[in-house]
Amino acid sequence: MADVLALRQIRKFYGGGKAPKVEVLHGIDLQLGEGEFAALIGPSGSGKSTLLNIMGLLETPSSGDMAIAGEATQGLDDA
């Protein structure tokens, strides 16, 4: 069965243009199966909220692949 959530080489940059470009997530690989429990820990500013927002489809990654229950999230419309 497909993982509930699968992330492969997820990167996230903020800024660019006039603002300095900051890489916040540097290539996250993560798989979570049904019934699995995981804790995300790290110091303030390490990217926890950014990662959770990406996992919750509130933000898009700058690059990398993500799938929910085996379905790629790229190209999904808002609905």
Ligand X SMILES: Nc1ncnc2c1ncn2[C@@H]1O[C@H](COP(=O)(O)OP(=O)(O)O)[C@@H](O)[C@H]1O
Name the amino acid, one letter, at 77. D
Identity of the residue, 33 or 48, whose beta carbon is nearer to ligand X in the bound complex:
48
Q: Which is nearer to ligand X, 15 or 33 (CB)?
A: 15
Tokens 């699968």 belong to residue: 6
Q: What is the DSSP string of 22-38?
A: EEEEEEEEEEE-TT---
Q: Binding string, 17-56, against ligand X, x = CB under 6 A?
A: -------x-----------------x-xxxxxxx------
Backbone angles phi and psi of 36, in degrees to 5: -75, 150
Residues that bind ligand X (CB under 6 A): 14, 24, 42, 44-50
